[in-house]
Amino acid sequence: MITKLIEKAKKVFPGSDNFQAFFSPGRVNLIGEHIDYNGGFVLPCALDIGTFGIASPRDDEFISCYSENFSEIGIITFSLRDLEYRLEDNWVNYVKGVMKEIELTKGFNLYVRGDIPNGAGLSSSASLELLIGVIANTLYNLGLSNLELVKIAHKAENEFIGVKCGIMDQFIIGMAKDKSGILLNTSNLEHHYVKINLGDYLIIIGNTNKKRSLSTSKYNERREECEQGLKMLQKRFEIKELCELSCNDFENSQALLTDPIIYKRVRHVISENERTQAAYQALEKGNLVEFGKLLSASHDSLRDDYEVTGIELDSLQEFFLKHGAIGARMTGAGFGGCAIALVRSDEAEHLIEKVREGYKEATGLEADFYPVRVGNGARKL
């Protein structure tokens, strides 16, 4: 496939040579939801689907970009001396954003093809950002570390693109190791790798295809509720973030959380933080059954205590479990988006059809499904 992509790149950029191939994965957060802004642990992994880049260096200051996914746009070229955001430049603004943080005097030709489904919440933007960082770093021997590239990509997303996301997406894509997840402490970026040996199992991602019109307002509402809970608990505990508390501390502090809604929100945060660490331990021991139970418990907490699921995500999870998954949960912000399930490989096709039927009957919507495996981080091929 790489050979074919290089041949395509040569046709788009005739006269160019010395093409090199790169890949940057998509990602999914296996467990640890809505706790990144509370100083907690998350457990994401890179996927075996992502963004391919074929690039060759140039002798001038221009970068020319072409994407198979946006072929109708054609080639977009910009100067390294003119790195302004322009709406008409579409996806190429991500390239500009990264270039604004990396000082280059010479550009390159870039041919891109992504196989991350649009709108699936698998972080196609962070995948592209790390791809660009790795390409520039490799073509011009900049000597930047993976962590430096992660921080560059995160800054580009926050400041140039204007999306105020956390660092998890860029971190896992830039720092991932083959067939491993990362237990990441979002408060200080301490992290531990864990091999994910799925054996006879694979991960299925189900996209609800529900428009998430309420997600931004509800997301902000949940953050505010967590901040209120933190202030209540700070009357007794010297903590800066909710996830500094243990479940035992929380259970002994119920009297401080006088609002029942705030109590439920905080209970999710504290319990999810401990579930995520328990999931890491389960994966270290190769105990997929226990890992699956923790995934399902995470969804239950997100549904009952944090109230960010809704009928679509709840239906997907219910049908995943009904038809053989050993664990399933929503992933991402909620209110639509995706759910993940741990499923036997030889049962995946049959399970998907059964879940598809049940989900449509329950919601009237058609779900999309993506069987994926754990992959490696952004790299030259």
CATH 3.30.390.10, applies to 201-372: no
Assigned token pair, 337? 């988006």
CATH topology for 2-193 is Ribosomal Protein S5; domain 2 (3.30.230)
Instruction: Give the alpha-carbon dihedral of 249, 254, 257, 259, to 10 degrees.
Output: 150
d(CA 48, CA 54): 18
Residue 245 region, left (φ>0) first, then alpha (ψ -120 to 50), else beta? Answer: beta
pLDDT tens sequence across 260-280: 999 999 999 999 999 999 999
pLDDT tens sequence across 179-218: 999 999 999 999 999 999 999 999 999 999 987 655 566 8
Residue-wise burial string across 133-167, b where 16 or more C-beta atoms lie within 10 A, e elsewhere: bbbbbbbeeeebebebbbbbbbbbbbebbeeeeeb
* Cα atoms in the Cβ-side hemisphere of radius 13 Å centred on 289: 0
Query: What is the structure's pLDDT at 217?
Result: 67
pLDDT tens sequence across 346-367: 999 999 999 999 999 999 999 9
Query: What is the structure's pLDDT at 220?
Result: 84
Q: Looking up tokens 């074929």, which residue turns up?
A: 54
| DSSP for 122-174, written as a single string | S-HHHHHHHHHHHHHHHHTT----HHHHHHHHHHIIIIII-----SHHHHHHH
Query: What is the structure's pLDDT at 212?
Result: 62
Q: Which residues of the chain have pLDDT under 70?
A: 118-120, 212-217
Query: What is the structure's pLDDT at 335?
Result: 85
Strand order from edge to edge, sheet including 201-207: 327-331, 338-344, 201-207, 368-372
Query: What is the structure's pLDDT at 52?
Result: 97
3-state SS assignment for residue 25: strand
Query: What is the structure's pLDDT at 146?
Result: 95
CA-based Rg of the chain, rounded to a whole angstrom? 22
Of 163, 178, 88, which Cα lies nearest the Cα of 125? 163
For residue 94, what are the contacts with CB-CB under 8 A and spacing of at least 6?
Answer: 125, 128, 129, 132, 156, 161
d(CA 110, CA 344): 38
For residue 35, what is the enclosing H or E element?
none
**Domain boundaries along the sequence of the chain:** 2-193, 201-372
Strand duo 41-57 + 20-31: pairing: antiparallel
Query: What is the structure's pLDDT at 218?
Result: 83
pTM listed for this prediction: 0.89
Q: Name the amino acid, one letter, at 374.
A: V
**Per-residue H/E/C for 264-332:** HHHHHHHHHHHHHHHHHHHHHCCCHHHHHHHHHHHHHHHHHCCCCCCHHHHHHHHHHHHCCCCEEEEEC
User: Which of the following is catalytic: 169, 200, 249, 259?
Assistant: 169
Check residue 7 and report its DSSP letter. H
Active site residue 300: no
Query: What is the structure's pLDDT at 268?
Result: 97
